[in-house]
Every structure is written in C-alpha cells, then in structure tokens.
Amino acid sequence: MLEHDVVIVGGGLAGCRAALELCRQVPEINLALVAKTHPIRSHSVAAQGGIAATLKNVDDQDSWEAHAFDTVKGSDYLADQDAVALLAQEAPEVVIDLEHLGVLFSRLPDGRIAQRAFGGHSHNRTCYAADKTGHAILHELYNNLGRYGVTIYEEWYVLRLIVEDQEAKGIVMYHLLDGAVQVLRAKAVMFATGGYGRTFNTTSNDFASTGDGLAMAAQAGIPLEDMEFVQFHPTGLYPAGVLISEAVRGEGAYLINSEGERFMSTYAPSRMELAPRDITSRAIATEIRQGRGIRLDGRVGGPFVYLDLRHMGEAKIMSRVPFCWEEAHRLAGVDAVHEPIPVRPTVHYSMGGIPVNTDGQVRSGSEGLIAGFFAAGECACVSVHGANRLGSNSLLECVVYGRRTGAAIAQLLPARKLPAINEAQYLQEAHQMLQELLDQEGDRRIHTVRQQFQDTLTEHCGVFRTQALMEQGLAQIHQLRQELTQIRLDDKGKLWNTEITEALELRSLMTVGEVILTGALHRRESRGAHSREDYPQRDDSQFLKHTLAYVSAAGIDVQYLAVNLSLFEPQERKY
Ligand SMILES: Cc1cc2nc3c(=O)[nH]c(=O)nc-3n(C[C@H](O)[C@H](O)[C@H](O)COP(=O)(O)OP(=O)(O)OC[C@H]3O[C@@H](n4cnc5c(N)ncnc54)[C@H](O)[C@@H]3O)c2cc1C
C-alpha cells in the first residue's frame, strides 16, 4: 500500500496552490499529488481572462468591500458572505504572491500589474496575462512543486474515495499506463478535481471535466451542494462551444443581433455587455428564441448572435486578446479584426460542489464534518459564487481557498495518524469492478450513450427550465442508466485502455447529471443561473438556502443548509 502524509487529487490551480502551501508550512512533508491528466494539462491551464483582486492599480476607489458586494450581488444573494469576505480580503495578497513566484502578468506602462473590466465587477480589478492567465499561473505553480519534492502521480485515475465512519482514509487509483491498481492511505485527503462541463453537449470545458470527484464524494455518502446552478458562459464560439473570453467584452466588444442592435440595452442598460453571465446568457438565448439570431449564411432566425470586435482595432485586439482572435480564426475561419465572431451560450462552470467550510473541510451535512477530508477549487462549494459566479473570481477562489485549505491541513497534521485500511478488500473490489466492466456483454457504445445523455441534460436542464421538461429529462436519464451495464468495450487490454476511463467517466457524468436535475426540480424559484419559466421570481421566503443532495441506491434525497448573510441584506438584483 502506498503511504503519504497527505494526498491531493487534482493538479489544477487549486490542487497546486494547496500543495505549495503545505510545502511551505511543513517542509519535511511527504506529499502526493495525483492527476488523471498531466497536471499542466488540467483545465486551469485554459483560463483566459484573468483573476480579480483589489490592487487599485487602475482604480484607487476600489475596495475589498466593493469586491465582496459585487460578488454577493452577482451570486443573487446565495453566496456565503463570510466566505466571500475572505475571498475579497485575501485577493491582493495571493496575487502579489503569484507575481513573486514569477507569474508574468500584463503590465501598466509604469510597471505595475494591469487590471481590466469584467462582467458584474463595479471597478477595473481583473489582473491578467493577456488572455492566457491560467497558463501563466499554472506553469509557475507546477514548476515550484518540483523544487519541493512533491511526489506526482500523473495519469493515475482515482476510482474511489475511502471513507469509513465519517473519516477519509485514502483513495484507490488506477494507472492509465499499465492498468495497475493501488490503494493509497494518508492522514488527509484533498480533492481539487475541477468541474463537470462534459455533462452537457456544448461546453467550454476540457474533455477531462467529467465531475469524477463529485461523483466519488457522492458515492461515499457525502452530500453535494447547490448543483442546480450551472453557469452558461454567454460567448461560446459557434458551433464548437469553446470559450471566447469575457475579457473580449471587458476590452470593449459589442453583442449584436440580426437587426444589428446592441441588444443588451434591453436587458441590462447600465452594464450592457458587462452584465453578469446569467443575465447575458439569458439575453442571448432570448434573442435567438425570438428570431433575432443569425444563420451562417448571414440570414435571420439562426442559432447564434455576433460578438463584434472590429471597432477595437487590430493593435488592441492583438495585444489584449490575441488567443481569442486565434481561436476564432482557427476554429471558425473568422478574422475578428474584420468580421464579427458567431457566439452562443456554452456550459462553463459549476457553482455547486462538495460542501466545505472556509478551511476547506468537507461537511457531512448541515452540521458536522468528514474527518481528514478537504476540497477546494471548482469541485468544492464554499459558496463564494452562490447562484452565479462573476468572471475572474474562480481562479481567485482556487488560489485563496487552495492556500487556506493547504494551511488548514498543515495545522491538523500533527494530530492525525495514518489510518488503518483493509487494503486487500479495496483492491479486490476495484479489480472486480474493472473486470465486470471488461466482461459486459451488451451492444451499446460509450460514445452513443454519452451523446444521448449529454443531449438529454442540455435539452432538459439548459438556460431555461420547467417542471415538465426536467421530469422528462430525469426519466430519460434513469433509462440511460440502465444502458450503462450494456456497454461493450472493444479493448480488453491493460495498456493505456482509454475505453475503461471513458466508461468510468460516463458513470461520473450520469451521477452528477442526475443530481443537477434533481436539485433544479426541487428549487421552485428563479435565482442566478437557475431560471425556471414556471417560477420566474426569486423566492427568498422559501429558497434562500443551499441545496444538499444525498445520493444513495434508494435515489436522491434533497435537504437544505442555511446561507451566511453576515455582510449584506438581500435586495432586488438589477443592473
Ligand atoms: C476555457 C475556460 C476559461 C476560463 N477562464 C477563466 C478566467 O479567466 N478566470 C477565472 O477566474 N476562471 C476561469 N475559468 C474557470 C477556472 O479556470 C476553473 O474554474 C479553475 O481553473 C478550476 O481549477 P481546479 O483546480 O478546481 O480544477 P482543474 O484545473 O479543472 O483541475 C482538475 C484536476 O483534477 C484531476 N482529476 C479530475 N478527476 C480525476 C480523477 N478521477 N483522478 C485523478 N485526477 C482527477 C485532473 O486531472 C486535473 O488535474 C475558465 C474556465 C474555462 C473552461
């Protein structure tokens, strides 16, 4: 059995930042980081637009209180305000620390870190490295881990979280290279496994964003929080769905419908293109529904609108958002200096996740914690985003809460012993599960079942939702679940068997998708990204509370958790 003081699952920004903090605070630590991808291929590397912090380099009127207020208002008042306060207060310090690590932020002429406008933020506070911010940060963090001697298990797929008697003891993992299975025990386990964009058919997310960590936690009896809040980013490139960063609108681009109108004047006159994402995505979806979308041949009534950069000029486009120009050029054949880019909403971010407190400790329910289990980043829900995340707050969450979680684990370590684990039993169960998968005799293919599942969730739990639509969606997912046992794998080998991991990821997707739909069905109101046509108003009297969904063989049980409202009174949300 493998043994480490701490194991972190996930090599994105949250996992790497937590690892760095542990190495700084406990230099002699025996730390492992496991990732199913190479760490620098984690989805964090694709983050484009930037990271928010009130450095006041561009706007000296900014303050952490303003950042906190924008975040809480953006969240439609569902965010936990104690967690938001920490996020905003610690932001300048973590960004300066990144800069000291060597992250190449874009600069003002006087050499200080540049800051741009972003949706829902009332001041220019987003720090950036052109439109490759995630790349710049993740590479620096990862390089630093090498210096501290962290053991990296790259391209190991974690199959199972070991929880016994409300205590996390370790993980079971599978080596993609040769099919080896190992049990790893540790004094503390941390998940930083990222999001689940691949539950939908159109997403900006990486192929690896399949919600495995969420599914493993759920399977271990841990509730998932606020999973119905799925962020649709307004500007996915049509038709690929890849992201055209909000930084493009931050730098001044317009959204235009088939009439040539800047239609955001109807939906958010004071913020226009820089309204929060839920509002902007609904605006685009409404324009398209009402026949003011555009078709590829330029005629009206099509499935996208235009993002128009032309007035910004070539010099600004190429210096501030060069990667977005390149994406549009490479994937849609559009030269954004001279032509508008076709865009429509794309699934982008998971506001919900594994419930944690502000030290990253995982909750076992509305009261109580799972001993030795931590989570941070997109897979966690400390609830700084509530019902809708503001752009550039997620990278920030990863570094602020990655650091806090690393520090909390460092505090706890002296009091924890390596737990006892029945290794033979866990190995036997894992081998049996894998063998059963290889031996399945059906005639269904992974990709067709996955496609049907992704289409179902997209159609039945998209930007606009209704009870009837979601009930049909759930019934279809229950049907598709049966088909999981009829999937046939062609590759029966051990070496680099990608069919096995795809089949396992499909199971994760289905678990997560069912929780999203169930939470959405129970939440009979519209708040942030969750928009119900049958309940169009926010209902604070009944639903100003977090959803906690428990998965079991008997089905999904929905309970609730109070929201922390320590800073601001809920108000009507207008822009
Ligand atoms: C295209 C794009 C652009 C974005 N731009 C911005 C931006 O400009 N600003 C901003 O604030 N946010 C942005 N976001 C959001 C932000 O990038 C993410 O929320 C954040 O990077 C998530 O980091 P993470 O560390 O939580 O997870 P990730 O970076 O997704 O990493 C997850 C890790 O978990 C590992 N893993 C998962 N499952 C398993 C398993 N079963 N076994 C082993 N390992 C596993 C993966 O291999 C990976 O290493 C963007 C997101 C996208 C998709």
Give the pLDDT of residue 535: 98
Q: What is the per-residue pLDDT for 298? A: 84
For the packed helices 498-522 and 446-460, what is the interaxial angle rounded to 10 degrees? 20
Whether 282 is catalytic: no
Give the residue among 484, 553, 556, 552 at the shortest CA–CA distance from 520: 556
For atom 10 of ligand 1, which residue has the closest CA? 392
pLDDT (0 to 100) of residue 36: 98
User: Considering the entire predicted model, what is its pTM?
Assistant: 0.97
Distance 354 CA to ligand 1 centre (A): 15
What is the span of the domain harbouring residue 489? 436-558
Query: Ligand 1 pocket, 392 CB below 6 A?
Result: yes
Q: How far apart are CA 110 and CA 125, in angstroms?
A: 17
Does residue 44 belong to any structural domain of this protein? Answer: no
The answer to the question of residue 204 being in a domain is no
Whether the CB of 36 sits within 6 Å of ligand 1: yes
What pLDDT does residue 408 have? 98
Do 338 and 441 belong to one domain?
Answer: no
Nearest CA to 309 among 325, 297, 293? 325
Same domain (yes/no): 441, 551? yes
Closest atom of ligand 1 to 16 CA is 25
**Closest Cα to atom 21 of ligand 1:** 44
* Cα(71) to centroid(ligand 1), Å: 20
Asked if 338 contacts 310 with a C-beta cutoff of 8 angstroms, the reply is yes
Q: Is residue 531 part of a domain?
A: yes
> Rounded to whole angstroms, how far apart are CA atoms 302 and 296?
8
Ligand 1 lined by 241 (C-beta under 6 Å): no
Domains of the chain: total: 2
| Ligand 1 atom showing the smallest separation from residue 397 Cα | 11
CATH classification at residue 245: 3.90.700.10
Q: Answer whether 223 contacts ligand 1 (Cβ < 6 A).
A: no
Distance CA 304, CA 284 (A): 8
Ligand 1 centroid distance, CA of 539 (Å): 32
Whether residue 208 has its Cβ less than 6 Å from ligand 1: yes
Q: Final residue of a domain: which of 345, 377, 408? A: 345
Q: Which residues contact 446 (CB under 8 A, 6 or more apart)?
A: 487, 489, 499, 502, 503, 506
Alpha helices in 526-565 (DSSP H): 540-543
CB contact set of 451 (below 8 Å; sequence gap of 6+):
201
Q: Quote the ligand 1 centre to 491 CA distance (angstroms).
A: 29
Position 49 in a domain:
no
CB of 211 shorter than 6 A to ligand 1:
no
**448 and 553, same structural domain?**
yes
> What is the chain's pLDDT, residue by residue, as a tens digit (575 residues)?
999 999 999 999 999 999 999 999 999 999 999 999 999 999 999 999 999 999 999 999 999 999 999 999 999 999 999 999 999 999 999 999 999 999 999 999 999 999 999 999 999 999 999 999 999 999 999 999 989 999 999 999 999 999 999 999 999 999 999 999 999 999 999 999 999 999 999 999 999 999 999 999 999 999 999 999 999 999 999 998 999 999 999 999 999 999 999 999 999 999 999 999 999 999 999 999 999 999 999 889 999 999 999 999 999 999 999 999 999 999 999 999 999 999 999 999 999 999 999 999 999 999 999 999 999 999 999 999 999 999 999 999 999 999 999 999 999 999 999 999 999 999 999 999 999 999 999 999 999 999 999 999 999 999 999 999 999 999 999 999 999 999 999 999 999 999 999 999 999 999 999 999 999 999 999 999 999 999 999 999 999 999 999 999 999 999 999 999 999 999 999 99
- Is 337 domain-assigned? yes
Cβ of 87 less than 6 Å from ligand 1? no
* 554 and 440 housed in the same domain: yes
Instruction: Answer yes or no: do 241 and 341 share one domain.
Output: yes
* Residue 136 within a domain: no
Mutation pick for ligand 1 pocket among 7, 16, 34, 44 (CB with most ligand atoms within 8 Å): 44
The pLDDT assigned to 118 comes to 94
278 lines ligand 1 (CB under 6 A): no
Protein residue with least CA distance to atom 44, ligand 1: 35
Which of 326, 345, 364 is at the close of a domain? 345
In a domain, residue 311? The reply is yes
CA–centroid distance, residue 445 to ligand 1 (Å): 28
In a domain, 120, yes or no: no
The owner of tokens 């966690």 is 380
- CA atoms lying within 13 Å on the CB side of residue 572: 3
Domain-terminating residue out of 314, 329, 345: 345
